[in-house]
Structure 1
Amino acid sequence: NWATIFSQVYYDKVEESIRLETAGIPVPKWISLREDEIPDLSGFSDFVVVKPAASACGAMVRIMRRNRVRWRDLGAEKMRCDNRSLIVQEYIHTGPWPTSYRVATVFGEPVYMFRAVADRTRRPFDTMLKGSLFFDGRTIVSSGKGCIMDEEVPDDVIQMGVHVHRAFPDEPFIAADIIREHETGKLFVLEANTSGWSFLNTAPIGEKLKREFRIDFVKQFNAPKAMARGIYSHLCGPCFCREEASING
């Protein structure tokens, strides 16, 4: 069992962001915020995304005016550890309905992917609106209730997911959440989901998503063989023996 041979280390969102930046992976501008700190967001746009550093499943994600951001206890029921820090990220507009991509890899070898688009029955974002009216009644989480998931994942997004594993070369499994800025087309990595709990190929939630959206996560990349290739590459040397492709062109 490959999971018994390698150990998976969990990093919170702040630790992930540091590692991603160090590896040259594009991430939204961000800062961490601890209790009793007053954040300096002078270099950010008017609206930012605030979330616990240790939350999961899109839990407790907030969009806020930058001048209103203060630390607060957002609750721990979905947190992975006792870390009470928040992470504040620049808001990246991904289109009329929030859209994100997931690319999961085993030692840099893709094993599953999907695109998530927020509930299209909700009002779309209207770029003609300004300030709080732009966000009024709209979700910024692409994978929430009513969303759609499909396999429309462009090649450059898949390649970005492969690059993400450079930041965590000794972690067996990474599930990178990636977005594309609507206006520029630039890719950003939101987080790497290093916990290992996002392995949809065998998890019950993977079966649920397969039934609901008709996505076979095992067949996409022939997951068993892809995992074997990733593990073999890792054991034989650097896990990125593939030819490097430039990020964002």
Structure 2
Amino acid sequence: MNKIALVTGASAGIGEACALKLAENGFDLIIAGRRLENLENLAKKIKEKFNKEVLSLCLDVRNYEDVEQTINALPEKWKNIDVLVNNAGLAVGVSPIEQGIIDDWDRMIDTNVKGLLYVTRCVSPLMTARKKGLIVNISSIAGKEAYPGGNVYCGTKHAVEAITKGMRIDLLPHNIRVSSIAPGMVETEFSLVRFKGDENKAEQVYEGFIPLKAEDIADSLLFIATRPEHVSINDILIMPSAQASARDVNRK
């Protein structure tokens, strides 16, 4: 029987790349996201290209009742989740704290922190019952450093880092490994969301250097997910070679 991975935020970007990479390497996939059409297209691609089974979940991780009902309603076979990838997340806006937009704050906190907690709360008991599993939380360089305009987003990713450490301790007796991947600048729709659809501003973020691709993060995930069970990769910080910190980028 193939191993099963559940990837949140799988309808685009890093989540989509992670799902494809895991399918390519023998996993059956549960793909979760809010954009059903994108999920259906991804499921079709996985089935046709890699001949793996896929279950699509149209799911908003910000809604605990939705998450709980969806996970509880999984067919028994699909409850044997070996790898959970908590990828769903976003940055919205770059306002300084005194001009912060409350709706932006709520979206980031509800998705990046509470959404990760909600999904983990519902999936981790399935793992503890089997005494095995791997949870990978997608963090960010913003979880290691703060930068101008990143106040609340950085706060949410710092929270992910702390939650990951606490989760690792709590789940240790149950033989469940917990990892974090913290990417630097990755060219996905991330900046387009952050700048609320302003394509010019989004493109400027990646001008003058070669950023990471979503596939680079997927490669890191695969490395973590394919280690022997006695090996735990606790934390990966992955950056473009042109980036030295959250703020320092060599643009040419």
TM-score, normalising length: structure 2: 0.28
Higher relative contact order, structure no. (Cα contacts within 8 Å, ≥ 6 residues apart)? 1
Instruction: Name whichever structure is richer in strand by fraction.
Output: 1
TM-score, normalising length: structure 1: 0.28
